[in-house]
Amino acid sequence: MDVSRPNPRTPHPSAEKVCPRCGAQYPAIARFCETDGTALRFAAGGNDLEGSIVGDRYLILKKLGEGGMGRVYLAEHVKMGRKSALKVLHPGMVKDLNAITRFNREAANASRISHPNVAAVYDFGETTDGLIYLAMEYVDGESLGNVIERNGPLSARRAAEIVRQTADGLAVAHEVGLVHRDLKPDNVLLVLTRDGGDLVKVVDFGIAKAADDESEKMTKTGHVIGTPDYMSPEQFAGDTVDGRSDIYSLGLVAFNMLTGRLPFLSGSARESLIMRLTDTPLSLQRVNPSVEWPKDVQEVIGKALARDPNERYQSASEFGRAFYEAVSKMPDTTAHRPSPSDVRIVPPTRVVRHSGEVAPQEDRYVSTVGLLATLVVILTLATVVANRDSGKPRGTSRPATRVANLDSAAATTTVTPAVSDSDQFARLDSLANDSTTASAALTALASVPRTSDENRVRAALVRFAAGLSLGDKKAACDALKEVRTIAPRTTKAALVAGKLTDLCAN
């Protein structure tokens, strides 16, 4: 009998690993079963894979991080010696069709892109014991988000080079028909080159999709795919997106690199989204006046952030070149780090972990309720109804309310005032009164807190206006009935009752 081969029925004196096929036990340093060549697993049955081999070829060296979907490990191919970042789906999610679909999509999408500025995907599979994994290029660098958070605004030249490389990577994705849909500083990794420069790697194509694929605008009603802080207006509204949506997101990334802020100064990501549909982006000078921003740079940024995709750059590479050329004409200066007390800031929507995985962070919201705000919205409703009754056909579009262009105030450093509940609901009402943005108003409304009768009344009035804009008479009538139930003693109760009689008699 060959004593070098362990007996499956006889525990090894220092057994820490086991062969999942024959049950033989081995010390921790062993990798494969000597009997059948199967990769060994730790006998303890824990979730930590360090030291084990996944898929018969990836030796797990250490854990890099953990997120909601799974863990990310530094792994080494046992035969090639190549290191990779190995994403392993949580065992509890192996029956989650959406999670598996995202893993499959990331592998399929990224494998179609071959470019130095896009992290490569090597492999995707499932082990015999049910582990689902994704092996991708290990990027030994730091996320752009961490760099901005730690250092504040970047130098203009460095920002231009990062935008140029990111745009080049996106352009290749767009050429094969893919839209990233979640471009943000956390998904732009920076690797230090030998000459001290930055090599950009765009990562996380897990929610990317073909530009002509209409199958997934939203994961569920009221939940838009993507990270709110860097989402384009059309993506938030649930419209069809193409590569120009990524260009908008890259424009926001560029703005953040130069100023340390985003051009929609608000108290929450939700408010920032609404402002993207109704307000003009603030200028570089307005947000961070510590640098004299050239007109060319502002024009390039402004074009990338145009609300209408047709008015933006039509290709990522075109925007990358234009931004790089405009910045190259200005002195290589760095804006001062803005003080949190200067203006309102959109808080981060997600916390970045070292692996690139993310965890949700609670969104902040400023709330001030009162009877006056209720009356303001009801008066707005009265004006809307009067305009519609005077001859405007229902379901047609009206231009959304827009604020004055703030670029003319570039020289001032006036602090942006806090936005009250009445302002938020007024913006939502403005969106609801336009058939092209009414759906977006309902999407945003789904996450607005309704901790008082005043807020519930205002929310119902937004639903009423959206119902009229979308031609949904039942929804509009149901909203009016809710208003009558919640606020029977309001000064506009007679108006609500009248409209119920006029619109909802049948």
Query: DSSP readout, 203-247?
Result: ---TT-EETT--S-SEEETTEESS-GGG--HHHHTT----HHHHH
Sign of CA dihedral 169, 171, 177, 181: positive
Residue 114: CATH number of its domain: 3.30.200.20
Which of 360, 387, 410 is at the close of a domain? 360
Same domain, yes or no: 214 and 270: yes
Cα dihedral 108, 231, 438, 300 in deg (nearest 10): -120
Amino acid at 298: Q
Same domain, yes or no: 395 and 481: yes
Give the rounded percent of residues in the chain with a pLDDT score beyond 70. Answer: 67
Q: What is the pLDDT of residues 454-485, one digit of tens each?
A: 777 778 888 888 888 887 878 888 877 777 77
Residue 365 lies in a domain: no
Contact call for residues 459 and 447 (beta carbons, < 8 A): no
Same domain, yes or no: 256 and 127: no
Q: What is the pLDDT of residues 491-505, one digit of tens each?
A: 556 666 666 666 776
Tokens describing residue 449: 């807190």
Same domain, yes or no: 220 and 353: yes
Residue-level pLDDT at 290: 93
| 168: pLDDT strictly greater than 90 | yes
Residue 206: CATH number of its domain: 1.10.510.10
Q: What is the arithmetic mean of pLDDT over 205-224? A: 48
| 165: pLDDT strictly greater than 90 | yes
Residue 20 lies in a domain: no
Which of 137, 156, 182 is at the close of a domain? 137
Q: What is the arithmetic mean of pLDDT over 62-79? A: 84
Residue 1 lies in a domain: no
Which of 137, 154, 170 is at the close of a domain? 137
* Pairwise CA distance, residues 86 & 419, whole Å: 44
Q: CA 209: distance to chain centroid?
A: 14
Residue 88: partners with Cβ closer than 8 Å, 6 or more residues away: 49, 54, 70, 71, 72, 73, 131, 132, 133
The whole-model pTM stands at: 0.65
Same domain, yes or no: 110 and 157: no
Same domain, yes or no: 345 and 407: no
Same domain, yes or no: 147 and 296: yes
Residue 19 lies in a domain: no
pLDDT tier, 364 (very low <50, low <70, confident <90, very high otherwise): very low
State yes or no: is 212 an active-site residue: no
pLDDT tier, 219 (very low <50, low <70, confident <90, very high otherwise): very low
Adjacency order of strands within the sheet including 25-26: 25-26, 17-18, 41-42
Same domain, yes or no: 335 and 258: yes
Same domain, yes or no: 159 and 95: no
| 374: pLDDT strictly greater than 60 | no
Residue 463 lies in a domain: yes
Same domain, yes or no: 352 and 417: no
| 382: pLDDT strictly greater than 50 | no
| 295: pLDDT strictly greater than 80 | yes
Residue-level pLDDT at 221: 36
* Pairwise CA distance, residues 219 & 240, whole Å: 14
- Where in the sequence is the domain holding 98, given as residue range(s)? 47-137
Q: What is the arithmetic mean of pLDDT over 297-301? A: 97
Residue 479: partners with Cβ closer than 8 Å, 6 or more residues away: 460, 461, 463, 464, 467
| 209: pLDDT strictly greater than 60 | no
* Residue with the larger pLDDT of the pair 223 and 32: 32
* Residue with the larger pLDDT of the pair 428 and 136: 136
Residue-level pLDDT at 437: 75
**Domain count of the fold of the chain:** 3
pLDDT tier, 261 (very low <50, low <70, confident <90, very high otherwise): very high
Same domain, yes or no: 90 and 152: no
Q: What is the pLDDT of residues 92-133, one digit of tens each?
A: 777 777 777 777 776 777 778 889 999 988 888 888 777 888
Residue 318 lies in a domain: yes
Residue-level pLDDT at 242: 92
Residue 15 lies in a domain: no
From 168, 182, 429, 434, active-site residue: 182
Residue-level pLDDT at 336: 92
Residue 24 lies in a domain: no
Same domain, yes or no: 274 and 402: no
